[in-house]
Structure 1
């Protein structure tokens, strides 16, 4: 969590474009320009925000990569099926939810900038309900992944394996939608480090979960798909707990402040 100084620094205005010049009468005027120190300072602020967000995107994408790596030890057919399934899932499911969830960047950003903090929760809850509803038809598409791929001329065995993989990954759709809403809620408040820590912990746990389900429980490619589902839900629960605790802390601080000056 950022300190008060760091948060105020991230919320400060953009660098001022000013340049000093001396007139004939000795007066100092300022015009558009900025110095090197201002540029470096602004770049550091941008990195403090963009760095964790880049890490979050990479870590969340690593869940599928890790599962495919484990499936690769099961044979060429299993690897081909899992790769096809993940590609199909990304296009028809995860990308759709990612795009719809990005609307919160505008809505929550406006609410946070206008200090209408109660609207943050309202927008987030509405987005969660919307994405959960949209996930239902997407889940139906995933259920018939094998049939769709076969009708598009793909190999029968690979299509069947991809269909089985995506069926076991259907619950992750609902988790992914909720995860995008929580990410946007924290992102618009410049609270990005908890997202990075949660995604990092989830990725590390995913390695253990994937190994246990694929090899220890001998579920094969089904275990790899189920591991993605479990890991996404773990990430959701971690961020939900953080958001809940943060909301309680803010509420208690507000009450304490009001009582102190009542």
Structure 2
């Protein structure tokens, strides 16, 4: 529970970056400024990566005392310290995934994001998590690792789609959609 609270709280920062990037990218593409949209992609992902690395390193360095935020029970504090490396990886992956999802929204790729989400989590992450948790008997850690493999796959695929984008064509497509509306 402590780990989920931490991630939920920290995710508000990349969510804000994603919202800003989505709005800015859609505006720039609609205006035909494909170079500006491409710069926003770099700026948003760079900012999210820097923020998540700082937060993750802070969590790792303070992992032996961070549990005291939630409880004075030594077993809880030790468990939080044990989970800190996984939480740190999660923070980085969720930050990048969130911003890349915002970029996809700004480009009008909701359908692509939905397919990537479906494949990454429902076809890969959840079955892998269940296998690790129940058949390999890793329990909660197995669930966490399995879901994180889904997040890693989702982040990779969103980055691949974003990285292979022809931004000039995206701006032309956005202008065409505006003409139809």
Q: TM-score range by the shorter chain?
A: 0.7 to 0.9
What is the rounded CA distance, in whole Å, between the counterparts of 1:201 and 1:221 in structure 2?
22
Q: Are 2:98 and 1:189 aligned?
A: no
Q: Tell me what 1:229 maps to.
A: 148
Cα displacement (A) at 1:219: 3.0
Q: Deviations over 1:182-222 (max 9, x none)?
A: 21222112221111111122221111111232233333333
Please, which of 96, 115, 135 is the counterpart of residue 216 of structure 1?
135
What is the rounded CA distance, in whole Å, between the counterparts of 2:13 and 2:149 in structure 1?
20
Say if 1:184 and 1:217 are closer, same or farther in 2 by CA, change over 3 A.
same
Say if 1:249 and 1:101 are closer, same or farther in 2 by CA, change over 3 A.
closer
1:149-164 alignment, distance < 5 Å: 149-150=67-68, 153-164=71-82
Unaligned runs of 5+ in 1: 1-82, 254-262
Q: Tell me what 2:125 maps to.
A: 206
What is the rounded CA distance, in whole Å, between the counterparts of 1:160 and 1:234 in structure 2?
30
Q: Are 2:169 and 1:169 aligned?
A: no
Q: Which has the larger radius of gyration?
A: 1
Q: Tell me what 2:14 maps to.
A: 97
Q: Tell me what 2:176 maps to.
A: none
Residue 194 of structure 1: SS of its match in structure 2?
helix
Q: Tell me what 1:127 maps to.
A: 44
Residue 180 of structure 1: SS of its match in structure 2?
helix
Cα displacement (A) at 1:133: 0.9
| Larger helix proportion of the pair | 2
Structure scoring higher RCO (CA < 8 A, sep ≥ 6) equals 2
**How many residues matched?**
169
Residue 170 of structure 1: SS of its match in structure 2?
helix
Normalization by structure 2: what TM-score? 0.78
Residue 120 of structure 1: SS of its match in structure 2?
helix
Normalization by structure 1: what TM-score? 0.56
What is the rounded CA distance, in whole Å, between the counterparts of 2:157 and 2:70 in structure 1?
39
Which deviates more from structure 2 when the two are superposed, residues 173-182 or residues 232-241?
A: 173-182
What is the rounded CA distance, in whole Å, between the counterparts of 2:46 and 2:164 in structure 1?
22
What is the rounded CA distance, in whole Å, between the counterparts of 1:114 and 1:214 in structure 2?
49
Q: Tell me what 1:23 maps to.
A: none
Say if 1:111 and 1:250 are closer, same or farther in 2 by CA, change over 3 A.
closer
Q: Deviations over 1:39-69 (max 9, x none)?
A: xxxxxxxxxxxxxxxxxxxxxxxxxxxxxxx
Unaligned runs of 5+ in 2: 173-181
